[in-house]
Amino acid sequence: MECTVYIATSLDGFIARSNGGIDWLPVPGAEDYGYAEFMDSVDAIVMGRNTFELALTFGDWPYEKPVVVLSSRPSSLAHPLPSGVRMSSGDPEAILAELTSAGARHVYVDGGVTIRRFLEAGRITRVIITTVPVLIGSGVPLFGGTTRDIRLQHVRTRAFANGLVQSEYRVAA
């Protein structure tokens, strides 16, 4: 099972403001930074509750893939859930076992806490980070404290005309 993180950070390493805001991200335009190609390769998405609640504010539900929302308080999530969305409080191994048995081979992992849980479990295989050239000073860090070093191997880096820089890494075994 391949598990990939595809995420944007501020130059100072935050994925959102302290209040969860992402107003500092560039407005979507003609350039999608490889997102459509990435999503075409994904079979399922695992995201944290905060990421799910943020995605609900985008208007129409943006995902056509099966989505597992991780929450320690699943009963308080919005109901009805969008089509293809289910809640879980399971650990990464249990969730990936369920997705594998359903035929998934590539999972998109999203949300700060969820990413850290999957990294700690040794289940992230690839990390794609798009760095936005803005300093927001404080917020939700992509990587909090880890209990061990997690070595990454650089695959490639792309620079975009608007100053965004996207780096891809493989998690070293």
The reported pLDDT for the residue numbered 116 is 93
The per-residue pLDDT for range 127-139, each reduced to its tens digit, is 999 999 999 999 9
**Residue 94 phi/psi, 5° resolution?**
-65, -45
> Do you know the residue count of the chain?
173
* 173 band by pLDDT with thresholds 50, 70 and 90: confident
Give the residue extent of every domain in the chain: 2-24+38-171
The reported pLDDT for the residue numbered 74 is 62
Instruction: Look at residue 57 and tell me whether its pLDDT is greater than 80.
Output: yes
Instruction: Look at residue 75 and tell me whether its pLDDT is greater than 70.
Output: no
The reported pLDDT for the residue numbered 7 is 97
The reported pLDDT for the residue numbered 26 is 83
Collapsing DSSP to helix, strand or coil, 141 comes out as strand
Q: Which CATH number fits domain 2-24+38-171: 3.10.20.600, 3.40.430.10, 1.10.1200.10, 3.20.20.80?
A: 3.40.430.10
The per-residue pLDDT for range 138-150, each reduced to its tens digit, is 999 998 777 888 9
Angle, in degrees to the nearest 10, between helices 49-56 and 112-120 = 150
Q: pTM, whole model, 2 decimals?
A: 0.92
* 59 band by pLDDT with thresholds 50, 70 and 90: confident
**Residue 68 phi/psi, 5° resolution?**
-110, 125
**Residues with Cβ within 8 Å of residue 39, at least 6 apart in sequence:** 65, 108
